[in-house]
């Protein structure tokens, strides 16, 4: 559990992140028969407030069953990830469902690009096959030149399966229309951009995917059940040891002359990159 609380509750809730989690069982009536359900809720105030939210959820479920209220389609599902480190108001590190650390940031624009835009002929397998990562970088270089960027830089990183790009000197709000336009222009991963939009921030994985380290998988959730805490602790110890032999990404190109004097980008590079040529995971 994160112990140093730096970010405001408002900032965390804007990203759908919570410090405290509770899961509670309740009995509801379905066609007159009692059924047990589990409600999970997060809070940035206290565990008791999380419990209160669980109770409110259970009451709402019963009301939905009874037909006394209608389903709220505007409900935003919270991110059930443990907060491991609060850097500042705009940058929070969490542990995702498979155990990797993730930077949640609303101060630095980060994009994951898994492929380039294929031509009509390439879609049908006609023509010379391109190296995927090289084609993505070539496309980004061309876009940067055409956009006549001033006082900005694009930092381009190679990842295991594609390219990661960080903007220097420019922040694009994930709620803006321009975010969607720019994401399509650089061919950013659609699922990634959707997640960024829903969470009101960018996400960047900081540590390797466990399956690429050839270690067993485990599922992390909030709250973590008591009977799995020791197992998760032992798994994390092994995961952290194995992670030393891999890097998440490596910087391969910088477009533009703007120097990356940004502590969050420095933090990202310290955790993700390596001075030696480690395999990417």
Mean pLDDT of 210-231: 93
Query: pLDDT (tens digit, 9 = 90+) per residue, 249-268?
Result: 999 999 998 888 899 999 99
d(Cα 177, Cα 65) in Å, to the nearest integer?
38
d(Cα 38, Cα 229) in Å, to the nearest integer?
19
Give the model's pLDDT for residue 61: 95
Pick the most confident of 40-49, 216-225, 251-260. Answer: 40-49
Give the model's pLDDT for residue 123: 64
Residue 10 pLDDT > 80: yes
Give the model's pLDDT for residue 11: 96
d(Cα 34, Cα 114) in Å, to the nearest integer?
48
Q: How far is CA 46 from CA 19, 52, 180, in A?
A: 8, 10, 36
Query: pLDDT (tens digit, 9 = 90+) per residue, 120-161?
Result: 667 666 766 789 999 999 999 999 998 877 789 999 999 999
Mean pLDDT of 219-236: 94
44-50 contacts, C-beta under 8 A, 24 or more apart:
44/9, 44/12, 44/13, 44/18, 44/19, 44/20, 45/9, 45/20, 46/20, 47/20, 47/22, 49/20, 50/18, 50/20, 50/21, 50/22
Q: Is the pTM of this model over 0.85?
A: yes
Give the model's pLDDT for residue 259: 83
């Amino acid at each position: 559990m994160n112990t140093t609380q730096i970010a405001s509750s408002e900032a965390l809730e804007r990203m759908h992140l919570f410090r405290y989690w509770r899961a509670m069982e309740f009995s509801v009536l379905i066609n007159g028969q009692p059924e047990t359900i589990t409600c999970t809720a997060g809070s940035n105030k206290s565990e008791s407030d999380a419990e209160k939210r669980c109770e409110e959820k259970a009451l709402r479920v019963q009301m939905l069953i009874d037909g006394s209220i209608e389903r709220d389609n505007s409900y935003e599902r919270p991110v059930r990830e443990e907060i491991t480190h609060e850097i500042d108001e705009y940058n929070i590190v969490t542990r995702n469902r498979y155990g990797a650390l993730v930077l949640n940031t609303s101060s630095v624009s980060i994009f994951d690009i898994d492929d380039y835009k294929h031509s009509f002929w390439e879609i049908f397998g006609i023509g010379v096959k391109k190296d995927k990562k090289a084609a993505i970088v070539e496309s980004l270089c061309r876009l940067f030149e055409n956009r006549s960027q001033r006082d900005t830089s694009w930092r381009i990183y190679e990842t295991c399966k594609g390219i990661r790009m960080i903007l220097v000197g420019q922040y694009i709000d994930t709620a803006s229309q321009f975010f969607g336009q720019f994401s399509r222009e650089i061919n950013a991963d659609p699922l990634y951009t959707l997640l960024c939009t829903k969470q009101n921030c960018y996400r960047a994985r900081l540590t390797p995917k466990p399956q690429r380290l050839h270690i067993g998988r485990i599922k992390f959730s909030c709250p973590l059940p008591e009977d799995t805490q020791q197992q998760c602790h032992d798994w994390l110890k092994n995961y952290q040891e194995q992670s030393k032999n891999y890097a998440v990404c490596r910087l391969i190109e910088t477009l533009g002359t703007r120097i990356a004097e940004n502590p969050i980008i420095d933090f990202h590079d310290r955790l993700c990159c390596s001075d030696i040529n480690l395999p990417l995971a």
